Structure 1
Amino acid sequence: MMTITRRTVAALLFALLALLPFGGAGLAAAPSVGSLVAFAQQPDCGDTSGFAQVDLSSLPPEATVTAELIQAGGPFPHRQDGVVFGNRERVLPDCERGYYHEYTVETPGLSHRGARRLVTGENDEYFYTNDHYASFVLVDVQS
Structure 2
Amino acid sequence: LYNKSIKAINEVQQKSSLKNLLLEKKLSTLADSLEKKEAQLNEVLSASNLDPASLSVVTRKLEEVLDAKNTSIRDLQYELARVCKAHNDILRTYEAKLRQFGIPVVEIGFKPLESAVAGQQLGRGVAGLVTSPP
Task: Give TM-score scaled by structure 1 length.
Answer: 0.26
Tell me which structure has the larger Cα radius of gyration: 2
- Please state which structure has a larger fraction of its residues in helix: 2
Task: Give me the TM-score of the superposition, normalised by structure 2.
Answer: 0.27
Higher RCO (CA 8 Å, separation ≥ 6 residues) = 2
